[in-house]
Amino acid sequence: EDAAQLAEAFARCASEAQGAFGSGALYVEKRVRRARHIEVQVLGDGSGAVSHLWERDCSLQRRHQKLVEIAPSPDLDAVAREAIIASALRLAAEVQYRGIGTFEFLLDLDQPGRFYFMEANPRVQVEHTVTEQVTGIDLLHTQLHLAAGSSLAELGLLTPPPAKGYAVQLRLNLETLLADGSARPASGVLGAYQPPSGPGLRVDGCGYTGYVVSPAYDSLIAKLIASASDYPGALRRAYRALCEFRLEGVASNLHLLQNLLQRDEVLANQVDTTYVERHLSELLAAREQAHPHRYFAGDASAQSARASLDAPPGTLALSAPSAGVLVSLALAEGDAVAAGQRIAVLEAMKMEFEVKAEHSGIVRALTVAPGDAIGEGQALAFLQPAEVDSLDAHG
């Protein structure tokens, strides 16, 4: 929102791009303030023949990272749906696309009928599950056949099958959401992991009781997919499944998702890509006790122990607020550090964020180096407390 921050944001994006792709080149796109995120599941066999498996609505996000995905979009009008799908197919046909791909668009809510191409992901997406649930097509199986040279005609997919009902996917992440909307990956050991089951439910997950969370991987621990004949029914089933999901020992977004599914705007699908950020304080304020626990609360705990470092006498730790990989450390032994000073940059979930000193003092010991995997709460350095003015700080 502040043009004065543009140069710093551009530099940070360039750094992320360099780390992820080996190139820091960037380009600037038009900003759409109120948008829905609509993506099309495209199939191609490399001959120029392309087809689709309808669209997904991925508008419920935090910091442009998807939280909830729906197939098909509950209230996308027929004209917009046809135009967006036609655009995706035209792009795919032009490059003789082969395989499963997702073509993503922003639908401008302030200019009805106007939409913009964002990107094409030439792979099977995390949210492919909801498309599978409403079409009955195994996308991984299809991807392998297309890669092996099968044609869409041979697979019977030149014409898209009708979408039956609705499916909603919820991403359960081991993370803490801060008041500014930024996410910090959590670390620790899962004390309990008991996913729900039953008709209309699917859980794709990698957790188990005793699972040790690693900062080297994405914070996504499970995908909960609920299907029903209508959109409200899918949301009700998804909410109950969240109440049946026992996930303990590490911070997660489970309660935020429960709060989200109780919002009237979500029930009516009257949301945009900034909805979660605009209402985050309310979503975080709702208490866990507001939701019933519908699981057996027997003993499924796993003992955990955290490695700790002995602090030099008379020092305080400068700790990492979340798990991640240390990109840079702006400290050396003997440096004077002021409270609020930037001391490090961590990378987590494909994003970089700054770590600032919680208190002032003189650096007496460093415990990490760039490239290290850092756990939540891990000491980065130890300070001898001292009054340090920001003008006197070094680093």
- Which residues are catalytic, by number? 123
Q: Where are the alpha helices (DSSP H) in the chain?
A: 6-21, 78-94, 128-135, 139-147, 152-155, 231-244, 254-261, 264-267, 275-278, 280-285
**Rounded Cα distance, 230 and 235, in Å:** 9
Distant-in-sequence contacts of 18-22, Cβ < 8 A, 24+ apart: 19/327, 19/347, 20/350
Q: Which letter does DSSP use for residue 161 in this model?
A: P
What type of residue sits at position 205? G
**Rounded Cα distance, 210 and 219, in Å:** 16
**Rounded Cα distance, 351 and 360, in Å:** 27
93 DSSP β-pair partners: none
What's the Rg (C-alpha) of the chain?
A: 23
User: What 3-state class would DSSP assign to 275?
Assistant: helix
306 DSSP β-pair partners: none
**Rounded Cα distance, 332 and 338, in Å:** 14
In order, the DSSP letters of 10-34 are HHHHHHHHHHHHS----------SS
71, 132 Cβ separation under 8 angstroms = no
